[in-house]
Chains A and B, each alone.
Chain A
Amino acid sequence: AQSVTQLGSHVSVSEGALVLLRCNYSSSVPPYLFWYVQYPNQGLQLLLKYTSAATLVKGINGFEAEFKKSETSFHLTKPSAHMSDAAEYFCAVSLQWETSGSRLTFGEGTQLTVNP
């Protein structure tokens, strides 16, 4: 079974500062990894995904994440925070669908606050 741990339920940064949201996963087979963002009263929007190609993945809105197998991590970063980045961020893992379907297992989420 796969699982995801997001370290820090709340992260606060200043506008223009580095954003670092941490995600560690557990999986018995090579996983697919995703970051989604959720704005208040909305669904989930895909930021980026790792599907066993390049380990450094670039996503939308200037976000990127690096897959580190040795650390079982997939941390999300953005060099310079913008006020519009304030939202809830979810890391998720799935397996190849041939293994057990393609259900997403989510972390508990990290609420990002950006201070002016």
Chain B
Amino acid sequence: ETGVTQSPTHLIKTRGQQVTLRCSSQSGHNTVSWYQQALGQGPQFIFQYYREEENGRGNFPPRFSGLQFPNYSSELNVNALELDDSALYLCASSLRVAGGETQYFGPGTRLLVL
């Protein structure tokens, strides 16, 4: 148990729709990162938030956006869904301190776009 939870566990959407995925970080963690894991591949970094501000972004278009809230919760929003957005979406929380940072992952949300 990492103390990181995600909701929902599964989701089915149709192309063009919008989706919001939620994550609850470990208490005290000031950083949350989101990853997309397509079937049979390693996770790909989407973006990271540190103290409620975006702190790095991977190679994903602007229709992927996020928010981090003071109560250790965060959201990943995806607009104009495409078929290729079907994947497992993982959030990871961490405490940013000098000397290293370890990310702890939630169980993921599996998104299917039809």
Contact = CB atoms under 8 A, between A and B. Distances in A.
B71 interface: no
A13 interface: no
Nearest to A4: B42
B106 A103 contact: no
Interface in A27-50: 32, 34, 36, 41-46, 49
Interface residues of B, number: 31
Nearest to B33: A103
Contacts of A55: none
B60 to A, nearest CB: 12
Given A102-B48, A105-B45, A49 B56 contact: no
Which bracket fits the contact residues of A? 20 to 34
A56 B71 CA distance: 37
Nearest to B4: A43
A40 B48 CA distance: 25
A41 B109 CA distance: 10
Given A49-B102, A94-B101, A103 B107 contact: no
A96 B58 CA distance: 17
B103 A102 contact: yes
Contact of B48 (A52, A103, A107, A108): A103
Contacts of A106: 42-44
A77 interface: no
B72 interface: no
Given A51-B99, A97-B96, A104-B33, A46 B45 contact: no
Interface of B: 2, 4, 6, 31, 33, 35, 41-45, 48, 50, 55-56, 58, 90, 92, 94, 96, 99-108, 110
Given A36-B105, A45-B105, 10 more contacts: A32-B100, A43-B6, A43-B106, A46-B102, A46-B103, A101-B48, A102-B48, A104-B35, A104-B43, A105-B45
